[in-house]
Copies of this chain bind each other. A is one copy, B any other.
Amino acid sequence: MRNRTFIFKNQPRIHATATLGGPKEGSGPVGKYIDTIVHDDYFGEKTFEKSERKMLEYAIRQAIQKTNFSDKEIGAIVAGDLLNQIISSSYACRAFDIPFLGIYNACSTMSEAFIIGGMMVDGGYVENVICATGSHFSSAERQYRYPLELGNTRPPQAQWTVTGAGAAVLSVRGKGPKLVAATLGKVVDFGITDTNNMGAAMAPAAADTLLEHFKNSHFKPEDYDLIITGDLGAFGSRIFKDLMWEKGFDISERHVDCGEMIYNIAEDEFQGGSGAGCSAIVFNGYFYKKLCNKEYKRIVLIATGALLSSVSSQQGESIPSIAHAAVFES
């Protein structure tokens, strides 16, 4: 029988990371852990989509530069994003003489990238791989919801798509934090149809993956310094903790959510941050540095993704979700 959890025997290292955020991300609680803060969220481009692409390209370039590797030493870029046809990733990768594997699991893309990139390095197919993703508030709003110019009121269960990008270099070499294990997510759909309530849609997927992880690995919540979800937000995080508690796991003391951490909830951010860029920035900025400093010994990143599109919602479908878990040790 299949086991959704596997161990990376060769323990790929995070050789370097790079993060970039917009003004709101820069002024939030994790702002000082972000490498580059951009004060113009157009980033010198004419459209938000081009800005999003440039941010991702910038983060990838910075991550490579920190390693002192040449492009030729990077085996692949594993990346995806929220725009239709993942154009941010595809166009960003046009700037590099490096193979590209495009992926998409919505806001779970960061941990999906770590898992696929981890297998590539661990399995000996490449020596170094880039895992990257990003998002942009303004391109996401107009693609998934309404043009900003409409000035729509945001409901209180809404989250705020993070503007920014993060990239990590996984490598056979180095002394960075180790990727030691992963648990694959499966598609879980609890019938939520409110596209503003992503946290409620995604929480069951996170719980499914973490329960599977505990079952397969025989680890308990106490074996982790932190259990980190991607962007459940405040409400989704409560559901997630409740679901785990119902199954006999009290994770309340060690659960944190990147979406809850990234903003000072001051105006319309409501439930906190979301978007593929959310876990990309918070993990590759804040948590990576905490792992390097040995402040944490073992953490698990469960980035969560809502697998809808505007077409699926218009056609009356509920929101299927997914969550992939990647375990890191300092």
| 9 A–B contacts, CB within 8 A, in A order | A4-B75, A80-B104, A85-B106, A90-B187, A90-B320, A91-B317, A100-B322, A116-B116, A119-B120
Number of A residues near B (Cβ < 8 Å) is 63
Which of B93, B127, B186, B320 sits near A97, CB closer than 8 Å? B186
Q: Is the CB of B104 within 8 A of A100?
A: no
Distance from A70 Cβ to chain B, minimum over Cβ atoms (Å)? 8
Binds B, one of A151-159, A161-169, A255-263, A305-313: A305-313
Most chain-B CB neighbours within 10 Å: which of A2, A76, A100, A104? A2
Residues of B near A123 (CB, < 8 A) are 119, 122-125
Q: Is the CB of B103 within 8 A of A101?
A: yes
Q: Does A247 contact B (CB under 8 A)?
A: no
Residues of B near A99 (CB, < 8 A) are 4, 184-186
| Given A94-B187, A99-B4, A101-B116: A315 touches B47 (CB 8 Å cut-off) | yes
Cα of A2 to Cα of B129 in the assembled complex, Å: 11
| Given A75-B2, A122-B123, A309-B87: A102 touches B101 (CB 8 Å cut-off) | no
Residues of B near A103 (CB, < 8 A) are 101-104
Q: Does A189 contact B (CB under 8 A)?
A: yes
Where the two chains meet, the residues of A that have a C-beta atom closer than 8 Å to any C-beta of B are 1-2, 4, 6, 46-47, 49-50, 72-76, 80, 82-87, 90-91, 93-94, 96-106, 112, 115-116, 119-120, 122-128, 143, 184-187, 189, 307-312, 315, 317, 320, 322
Residues of B near A91 (CB, < 8 A) are 187, 307, 312, 317, 320
Q: Is the CB of B47 within 8 A of A126?
A: no
Cα of A83 to Cα of B311 in the assembled complex, Å: 9
Residues of B near A312 (CB, < 8 A) are 49, 85, 87, 91
| Given A49-B315, A311-B83, A311-B84: A105 touches B116 (CB 8 Å cut-off) | no
Q: List the 7 shortest-distance A-B pairs measured between CB atoms, nearest first.
A: A123-B123, A99-B184, A90-B307, A85-B309, A84-B84, A94-B187, A102-B104
